[in-house]
Amino acid sequence: MQRYAPLAVAALLALVPFLGLSSYLMHIFILVIMWAIIGMAWNLLGGFTGLVSFGHAAFFGLGAYCAAIVYHHFAWSGWWGLPLSVVVVALFSLVMGFVVLRLRGPYFNLSTLAIGEVLRVTAQNLDKLTQGDLGILLSQRTWTEKQNYYWVVLLLALGTYYAVKALVGSRRGYYFVAIREDQDAAESLGINTTLNKTISLTVSGVLTGIAGAFYFNYMGYIDPKVVFDLPGISILAIMIVMVGGAATLTGPLVGSVIMVLLAEWVRSIPKLGAAHMSVFGVLLILMIIFLPNGLVGDFGKIRKLFRRKEAA
Amino acid sequence: MSALLEVRGVSRFFGGLAALSDVSFSLEQGEILGLIGPNGAGKTTMFNCVNGFYPPSRGEVFFKGERISGLKPYQICQRGMARTFQVVRPLQRMSTLDNVVASAFLRAKSRHAAVEKAEEILKFTNLWEVRDMLSKGLPLGLRKRLEIARALATEPELLLLDEACAGLNPSELDESIAIIRRIKERGITIMIIEHHMKVIMSISDRIVVLNYGQKLAEGTPEQISRNPQVIEAYLGEGE
Amino acid sequence: MPKLEVFLQTLIQGFLLGGLYALIGLGMALIMGVMKIINLAHGQLMMIAMYMAFWLFTLGHVDPYVSVLLAVPAMFGIGVAIQKWLINPLQRVDSIMPQNQIILTVGIGMVLTNLATLFFSGDYRSTPVSYATKAWYLSDFWKTSPLELSVSYKELVSFLVAAAITAALWFFLQKTDTGKSIRATAQDKDAALLMGVNVERMRVVTFGLGTALVGAAGCLFIPAYYLFPDLGGQFTTIAFVVTIIGGLGSTTGAIFGGLILAVFESFTATYVGMGWATVGRFVIFVAVLIFLPGGVYSLIRSKKLGK
């Protein structure tokens, strides 16, 4: 029964476009699902393998620009960006891995942050290729209605979910967690830590890159400040996983729903709108201190809190 | 019988400090070799060089006739050498069973096989009852045994035990000694670092003594216990 | 001689900026060394101090260099508050991702940046002091000089004050009891505890001190540069690149790191292009991580051990 739960959920979600929701609400749904993909991808590297990346925007933006450049310079459909991003981001991940995976702890975290920022500044400066800060505009979107985009992203999310699930349940999953818990001990037990960290990084990057390529095709416009944004992409990815629960399969899904809805809600409040970053910051701080394992991870803690209230 | 492990002229420097100086010895298959010496003698450093944590600054290590000095720990483990750590390093947020499954995957072809192997090892090391407990909740004695269980799951021919008996109470000690003997019966060669003199003397076939990074003496437990230099090195040491 | 002129001018500019960069990095290195925390809100705290200096100047006509005396204690207090109420509670928390404290400081940084945008708007601010354009020219001193080099008054004063603060810090850490306690805590927290050092208080003092240092850097920075809320992020980046170059947690290293980074950026800006200075910053960061992960500090240490 439990095995089919994800498929059942997906089937239900697939029916959403038939509810006749407004374009705005469909947009929210699409964002939630897209961020669920990014969250699951980040979680593979950060939650399961323990390599906390502060620069996932690098993969997202790279994927987005694959689609955008292919459209802008070769006049192909932006959708070719999706398969292309797999190749490009995979290669990039290998090179990036060679540089950063040898680093431990904070050195690793900071270097991922640096790489995200390097790509942003590079995209801003290489204007022959990327149009710099002007960005790239998709003059004709594939579909005018939102529903087809919705089904595409839903399919991508389903694929991501099963890919991550398969990986985590396999020998790789054990190796990832072993590396997270104690890298040296894992190495002594015959685990090729370099290889496995590279696999985790590459899969995580590629999945995020696909989301980025989708983003270009869906939004129809990207520029470096948006797709390589540190707080808007990289930190948001971390927050989604933290809020939902790291190293769980459903955590990123829960986190994505909460964070995207929260963002929209805060933005819509008249006075508070511009302060949504502060709200996020405060939320992040509170989460870290009180619910460090996220809602799914610290579910037990939350239940206890409610039980105590009832008893009183 | 050719030597299973050969350590030839191994030295290891840290900055200007010589933690090991030109140490040579060999290990025959099937025996238990005890590595002893006062604190700071270089015993764990020797393990680290043999196991691949860092290469020797000078000298070489041969395992089953193949030169392994310079290889990474996981490559050495794949060739049949496993080790435990002095300060135990369980994979904390995994259960006892999962800890052993993770290392069983080295040889197991499938998850099913890995779990089977892990369960067999847990029973062998008397950890079956706590198999579902998170390893960070285990008391020290059981954690030490988990170290051994994990190493065993990689099906080693040579097992390096780094102070597997330190900090154990007498009954835990007896149980550990029994397990070590059972491991030997399975045909696994053992090199063990230990401070408990009684343990070392009773289970070792041969003993190598290190002091200040140099090999001081080598021989049977009897020979070592009568060696004046060894006695002098340990004078003032507890135990 | 124009090529040599450009080279020397770039070098001087970089060196003077290096003094400020070193000060920024010192605060972070101190916090890192004692508390093993990477404070990614460091630059944002500097930005707050800059706004303090700005408002003191605009409303009270206080010269930024004098603001140092006012901002430093205020920043110290802010740092102490952050440490006590936000970072300390985190010590008790256990979770899957050990990078929690980095993420915590990121959250703090986000809040600070956003609040600054809300209260002070995103407009560019500056403190146009009366001596803003004053500069010294080499030809004033050396009549027959073949080169023309200039040093702006602001840059030089900032550098000298930064150097003075650094010297004062050195004196504090080496000679005073509190300073020695801080160093002891950095070297070995448990040993320090056993020797009667109030480790808790040292951590609070250190965070306050680190914040105060970066606050001073902010006051020294504002006479010469523009201020806007997003500046915080840039300075955080500078701070951690400086500490990586210097060696995580090393105050001596941070000084070298600041000078090296500023000079490198200066050359990148002059010879590659203005916009590429930021990229240059990251290039040197990655290069240090690959080739000299221990930073300058590891070079100093190995010389001491007599390799």
pLDDT for res C305: 66
Q: How far is A131 from chain C (nearest CA, A)?
A: 15
A contact test, residue of B54, B74, B76 with most A CBs within 10 A: B74
Asked, for residue C294, whether it belongs to a domain, the answer is no
Q: For chain C, list the contacting chains (3+ Cβ pairs, <8 Å).
A: A, B
B15 conformational bin, left if phi > 0, alpha if psi -120 to 50, beta if neither:
left
* Torsions phi, psi for B62 (to 5 deg): -115, 135
In sequence order, what are the beta bridge partners of B210? B215
What is the radius of gyration, based on Cα positions, of chain C?
20
Total Cβ atoms within 10 A of residue A87? 12
- The DSSP line for A87-145 is HHHHHHHHHHHHHHTT--HHHHHHHHHHHHHHHHHHHHH-HHHH-GGG-EE-SS-S-SS
Nearest to B234 by CA among B201, B205, B204: B201
Both structure tokens of A146 = 């939102």
| pLDDT tens, position by position, C102-161 | 888 888 888 888 888 888 877 788 877 777 777 777 777 777 777 777 888 888 888 888
In the predicted model, what is the mean pLDDT of residues B93-107?
Answer: 89
C-chain CB neighbours of B91 within 8 Å are none
In the predicted model, what is the mean pLDDT of residues C179-201?
Answer: 80
A125–C240 C-beta distance less than 8 A: no
CA A112/CA A205 separation, integer angstroms: 12
Question: Would the pLDDT of A43 be above 90?
Answer: yes
| pLDDT tens, position by position, A277-303 | 788 888 888 887 887 777 776 777 777
pLDDT for res B156: 93
A-chain CB neighbours of B44 within 8 Å are none
B85–A188 C-beta distance less than 8 A: yes
Q: For chain A, list the contacting chains (3+ Cβ pairs, <8 Å).
A: B, C
C96–B15 C-beta distance less than 8 A: no
Mean pLDDT computed over every residue of chain C: 83
* Cβ burial C15-24 (10 Å sphere, 16+ → b, else e): bbbbbbbbbb
A4 or B37, higher pLDDT: B37
pLDDT for res A152: 92
Asked, for residue C133, whether it belongs to a domain, the answer is yes
How many interface pairs between B and C have CB atoms less than 8 angstroms apart?
Answer: 8
B93–C305 C-beta distance less than 8 A: no
A238, A41 contact by CB (below 8 A): no
CA C301/CA C135 separation, integer angstroms: 40
Minimal Cβ distance to A171: which of B77, B78, B105:
B105
pLDDT for res B239: 47
Residues 6 or more apart whose Cβ sits within 8 Å of residue B110: none
pLDDT tier for residue B189 given thresholds of 50, 70 and 90: very high
User: Exposed, middle or buried by CB within 10 Å (0-12, 13-18, 19+), for C133?
Assistant: exposed
Which chain B residue is nearest to residue A247, measuring alpha carbons? B93
Instruction: Pick A2-311's CATH classification: 1.10.4030, 1.10.3110, 1.20.144, 1.10.3470.
Output: 1.10.3470
A106–C102 C-beta distance less than 8 A: yes
In the predicted model, what is the mean pLDDT of residues A232-254?
Answer: 88
Most confident by average pLDDT, A198-207, B62-71, C111-120:
A198-207
Question: Would the pLDDT of A308 be above 80?
Answer: no
> What's the per-residue H, E or C state across chain B?
CCCCEEEEEEEEEECCEEEEEEEEEEECCCCEEEEECCCCCCHHHHHHHHHCCCCCCEEEEEECCEECCCCCHHHHHHCCEEECCCCCCCCCCCEHHHHHHHHHCCCCCCHHHHHHHHHHHHHHCCCHHHCCCEHHHCCHHHHHHHHHHHHHHCCCCEEEEECCCCCCCHHHHHHHHHHHHHHHHCCCEEEEECCCHHHHHHHCCEEEEEECCEEEEEECHHHHHHCHHHHHHHCCCCC
Both structure tokens of C82 = 């952050």
Both structure tokens of B185 = 């019966």
Both structure tokens of C202 = 């040292």
Question: Would the pLDDT of A59 be above 80?
Answer: yes
Which chain B residue is nearest to residue A169, measuring alpha carbons? B111
C contact test, residue of A282, A285, A296 with most C CBs within 10 A: A285
In the predicted model, what is the mean pLDDT of residues C158-170?
Answer: 88
- B158-162 vs B81-83, strand pairing mode: parallel
Q: What ipTM is given for this predicted complex? A: 0.85
Is C150 in a helix, a strand, or coil? strand
Nearest to A47 by CA among A209, A173, A171, A193: A173
In the predicted model, what is the mean pLDDT of residues A109-136?
Answer: 86
C302–B16 C-beta distance less than 8 A: no
CA C253/CA C38 separation, integer angstroms: 16
Asked, for residue C70, whether it belongs to a domain, the answer is yes
| pLDDT tens, position by position, A127-182 | 888 888 888 888 888 888 888 899 999 999 999 999 999 999 889 999 999 999 88
> Which residues, numbered 21 to 60 in chain B, qualify as contacts with chain A under a Cβ-Cβ cut-off of 8 Å?
51, 53
- The H or E element spanning position A240 is helix A236-244
B-chain CB neighbours of A190 within 8 Å are 74, 77-78, 82, 103, 106, 154
pLDDT for res C277: 78
In sequence order, what are the beta bridge partners of C111? none
Q: Where are the domains of chain A?
A: 2-311
Which chain A residue is nearest to residue B150, measuring alpha carbons? A189
Residue whose tokens read 């002007």? A134
pLDDT for res B100: 92
CA C250/CA A100 separation, integer angstroms: 22
Asked, for residue C146, whether it belongs to a domain, the answer is yes
In the predicted model, what is the mean pLDDT of residues A237-246?
Answer: 87
pLDDT tier for residue A237 given thresholds of 50, 70 and 90: very high
A5 or A197, higher pLDDT: A197
Helix axes A276-290, A251-268, angle to 10 degrees: 140
Q: What is the pTM of this model?
A: 0.86
* Torsions phi, psi for A126 (to 5 deg): -85, 60
pLDDT for res B62: 92
B103 and A CB contact within 8 Å: yes
In the predicted model, what is the mean pLDDT of residues C36-61?
Answer: 86
A233, A119 contact by CB (below 8 A): no
In the predicted model, what is the mean pLDDT of residues B85-109?
Answer: 87
Residue whose tokens read 């049977």? B220
A-chain CB neighbours of B111 within 8 Å are 169-171
Question: Would the pLDDT of C261 be above 50?
Answer: yes
Lowest-confidence region among A10-14, A65-69, B207-211:
A10-14
Q: How far is A114 from chain B (nearest CA, A)?
A: 29
Question: Would the pLDDT of A309 be above 70?
Answer: no
Question: Would the pLDDT of A86 be above 90?
Answer: yes
B209, B225 contact by CB (below 8 A): no
| pLDDT tens, position by position, B140-150 | 888 889 999 99
Query: Containing domain of residue C30, as a range?
Result: 2-229
Both structure tokens of A310 = 């009832």
| pLDDT tens, position by position, B212-224 | 888 888 888 888 8
Both structure tokens of C199 = 């480790």
CA A225/CA A117 separation, integer angstroms: 10
> What's the per-residue H, E or C state across A107-122?
HHHHHHHHHHHHHHHH
B15–C302 C-beta distance less than 8 A: yes
Domains of chain B (ranges; CATH) run 5-234 (3.40.50.300)
pLDDT tier for residue C306 given thresholds of 50, 70 and 90: low
A93, A206 contact by CB (below 8 A): yes
C275–A292 C-beta distance less than 8 A: no
Question: Would the pLDDT of C201 be above 80?
Answer: yes
Question: Would the pLDDT of A275 be above 90?
Answer: no
* Cβ burial B176-208 (10 Å sphere, 16+ → b, else e): bbebbeebbeeebbbbbbbbbbebbbebbbbbb
The number of residues in chain B equals 239
Q: State the total domains in chain C.
A: 1
Q: For chain B, list the contacting chains (3+ Cβ pairs, <8 Å).
A: A, C
User: Exposed, middle or buried by CB within 10 Å (0-12, 13-18, 19+), for A76?
Assistant: middle
In sequence order, what are the beta bridge partners of A273? none
> Which residues, numbered 95 to 124 in chain C, qualify as contacts with chain B under a Cβ-Cβ cut-off of 8 Å?
96
A184–B74 C-beta distance less than 8 A: no
Which chain C residue is nearest to residue A127, measuring alpha carbons? C275
Question: Would the pLDDT of B138 be above 80?
Answer: yes
B89–A182 C-beta distance less than 8 A: yes
Residues 6 or more apart whose Cβ sits within 8 Å of residue A202: A90, A93, A94, A97
* Torsions phi, psi for C237 (to 5 deg): -60, -50
